[in-house]
Amino acid sequence: MLLALFLQAAAPETAFDAERAFAAAAQAEGQWTAFRRFAAADAVMFVPEPVNAQGWLKDRKDPPKSVRWWATDSYVACDGSMAVNSGGWTLPDGSGGYFSTIWRREAEGGWKWTLDHGDTLQKPRPVVPILQVRRAACGTKPAEIGVAPCPPADRCGHGRSADGSLVWEWASSPDRRRLSVQLWNGKQFEPVLQDEVRATQ
């Protein structure tokens, strides 16, 4: 009983808490070890093509030093079942960029990431003193939203929170990939995150 209460208390309460625990685990346990532990079974990551994360991470050895990352923004479904965190990252060599990670609250109450996306930047996004959190509007039923058709040469995916107030879709082709996230504002869906990465020539 005490162990169950301890584990429940130790579970991250928000997707931001999960992100922070994930980043700390990467430093303490190893980069790919942490990625495996926090990824859902159906998680997708881009390497740069989209792959099943658990399959790609299986038996992958941790680098000597892990990437460091921090969230600057969090977009949360009204019911708290899903969230998207975005922020910056740096490698030990000083290079860096941005990331966007979709998190899902699991049945037991913990969080798992289901999609990890990002790219390099000339300068990584700076650490912010206060995380910017935006929650979808509650009290009105979100409208149905269509999903753009996936071009024949692309690979695509999409999803939504349990209450439908946070939706996203991604597409990947040989020359670019994109991730878009929309949040229900009480009247309509509003784009809150648009990542687009073009292949370098």
Q: What is the DSSP letter of 198?
A: E
d(CA 190, CA 180): 11
Q: How confident is the model at residue 124 (pLDDT cuts 50, 70, 90)?
A: confident
Kindly state the percentage of the chain with pLDDT values over 90.
79
How confident is the model at residue 111, as a pLDDT? 97
pLDDT over threshold 50, residue 201: no
Domain spans in the chain, listed from the N-terminal domain onward: 2-198
Provide the pLDDT for residue 12.
Answer: 64
Tell me the CATH architecture of domain 2-198. Roll (3.10)
Give dist(CA 118, CA 85) in Å, integer: 11
pLDDT, tens digit (0-9, with 9 covering 90-100), for 134-193: 999 999 999 888 888 898 889 999 999 999 999 999 999 989 999 999 999 999 999 999
Kindly provide the residue ranges of all beta strands, DSSP E only, lying in the chain, ordered along the sequence.
39-46, 50-52, 68-76, 82-90, 96-105, 111-121, 132-135, 155-160, 166-173, 176-184, 189-198
100 neighbors 195 (Cβ within 8 angstroms): yes
In sequence order, what E strands does 92-153 have? 96-105, 111-121, 132-135
What's residue 11's pLDDT? Answer: 58
pTM above 0.85, yes or no: yes
> For residue 199, which of 168, 165, 173 has the smallest C-alpha distance?
173
Q: Give the C-alpha separation, 164 to 144, whole Å.
A: 8
Is 14's pLDDT higher than 60? yes
